[in-house]
Structures are given as C-alpha cells and as structure tokens.
Copies of this chain bind each other. A is one copy, B any other.
Amino acid sequence: MAFHTGSDKLEPLEAAAGRVRDGALVALGGGLSARLPMALVRELIRQGRTGLHVVGSAHSIDVDLLVAAGALAVCEESYVGFEQDLGLAPAYRRAAEGGTIDVRESCCATILAQLRAAELGLPFMAVRGVKGSDIRGLHPEYGEVVCPFTGETLVAVPPLQPDVALIHAPLGDRRGNLHLEQPYVLDERFAAASRNVIATVDRIAGFDEVGRAGITVPGHLVIAVSEVPFGAHPTSCYPGYAYDRPHLAAYVSAATAGGAALTGYLDTFVTGVPDEAGYRKVVGDEALARLGTWSDSTSAWQELYS
C-alpha cells in the first residue's frame, strides 16, 4: 500500500517540513530561478535540520541557503549557481572549497537515469556518457555493465530513491493533486521515484479547478501538502509571479560577503521570522505585488529584469 490513498493531506508548513528527518536524502523540485521549494527550505532551516543530502539538476538559492545555514552535508546537484547573471553560489562555493560539505556533483541525465531505475523498479540503469568525464570519479557507487547484445561496456548507475521530494506548485487540492506549469524539470520523476512527496502550493483549490487546470503530480504520490502563498519566492512560480531578481542579487552579495552580512540575511528573512507570513511581511506586499506585473505587458515584464 505504497500509494497515499487518503483524501486530506492538507497540513501546516511546520508539520509538513517536520516530516523531513536530519540526514534525509532530499530531492529539490523546480530548477534555477523557477519553482524552488523555498518555503520548505526556509522552514527546514528554522527547525534546525542538519546533515541533508540533496539531489537534483540545476539549482541556486535553495541549495546555497541550506549550505549557509549549515543544514546540508552532501550535495549531488548537477549545478549550483546563479547563472551568468549573478555568478557562482557563494555559500556553496565557500563550503566546497573549505571542505565543509561533500560535493558529489552529478549530471542531469545521470540523475534522470537513476530516478528512472527507482521509478521502474530496476536495480540499475545503463547510461551512454559519463565515461571519460571526471564526474565519474566523484561517484564510486557507479558500476559497469556489458550489453548482452552488442558487447559494449556502459556505465551502470544504481537507483536513486529520495526519502522525500520537496515540490512547490502554483495550485493543488487537499488530496495532494498538484498542477504545475512547464518546465516541470524533474518534478514528475522525483514524485514517482521518491518514497514521499511533500508539497507546498501558492493556493489550495477544489478538485474540479485543479482537474481542469491539469494534474501534473497525482495526490496518491503526495503525503502532505501545505498552502503557502509565494512559497517559491524569491524564485518564480507562474502564472502567479516572476522571479525576484533584486532579492536574489541582494542575497548573492550578502552571501559573498559572508559573516555578518550573511547572518543578517538569514536573521532577517529566515530564522528571525517565526513563519512564512513573517517572511512575506519582511519582503513586503509591494515587492511581492510587483512580481505579478509580468503579465501586464512585455515592457512591464522586461522592466522586472532591467
């Protein structure tokens, strides 16, 4: 009875985040500047979670913030940074260079193969690449397999079954059905491969509305869902809001400075506020409302990034 057949998974963010254990293998949904599960990340930090092992594709402030707060022990993402625009991930870089976190950098396609092994109930998957790349040296758990038909030797990777996938969606219902806008990134695969999905949604709606919008992640994969407006901020969650570039820039400079500046950011936006209502209050209604203006016009959208 692995599927969650219950009809009401709605619970407070504190309880949902409380389901994540210290040292858990955590899949982070979304990617780069879009739909990162930031409310859950902030709550995990408030609850003092430690030793987390995160896996995923290309991520940014979610991982960097966990590192900055000392919540992360192992990072198995394919990329952590702020792209060309804002550059390297400061806390992640500092911890990696200082040896305070274990960096097991992976590749999007390899992670996908490992998630599929778990999703398909197979004890391994073969991958075409990886050979010749030093990424392979970071993964002693990889093996090799010889194709019984062609005789070629391929890199074999073990199943990746996260303890929990943290996913933020714009819309969902009490049963845990989630509607996402593309790009889904790895969220569908995370949901199917992980033991449990813990979700936050900007808005809880009735089943009919979610069904009409389209169910991307079915409720039977979800163990808990919490309603958290702007739960992906400062990253985007369309159609609600674009990403908050000024906020990310401010974070990056604080994290780059480190010390008091970084502590200041954490205190102001995470540990110093009791909950996400407090977070939204500090960010400010005006700043949040501004992120919804992307749909007013192309120039308004462009203005957000200028």
A residues within 8 Å of B by Cβ? Answer: 121-124, 126, 128, 143-145, 147-150, 152, 154, 156, 158
User: Smallest CB-CB separation from A142: which chain B residue?
Assistant: B148
Shortest CB–CB separation between residue A225 and chain B, in angstroms?
24
What are the residues of chain B within 8 A of A124 when measuring CB–CB? 126, 147-150
Q: How far is the CB of A129 from chain B (nearest CB, A)?
A: 10
What residues on B are CB-neighbors of A156 within 8 Å? 148-149
A123 touches B143 (CB 8 A): no
Interface pair B152/A148, CB less than 8 Å apart: no
Q: CA of A72 to CA of B231 in the docked complex: distance in angstroms?
A: 57
A176 to chain B, nearest CB (A): 20
Q: By the criterion CB–CB under 8 Å, are B145 and A123 in contact?
A: no
Q: Tell me the complex Cα distance, A124–B151, Å.
A: 11
Measured CA separation A58–B190 after assembly (Å): 30
CA distance A124 to B152 in the complex (A): 11
Q: Which residues from chain B contact A144 at a C-beta distance below 8 Å?
A: 148
Cross-chain contact B123 with A149 (CB below 8 angstroms): yes
- Asked if residues B145 and A148 are in contact (CB atoms below 8 Å), the reply is yes
Closest to A159 in B: B149
User: In this complex, what residue of B is CB-closest to A152?
Assistant: B123
Kindly provide the distance from the CB of A124 to the nearest chain B CB, expressed in whole angstroms: 5
Which of A126, A143, A152, A154 has most B Cβ within 10 Å? Answer: A126
Contacts of A149 in B (CB 8 A): 123-124, 143, 156, 158
Residues of B within 8 Å of A158, CB to CB, are 149
**Is B128's CB under 8 angstroms from A121's CB?**
yes
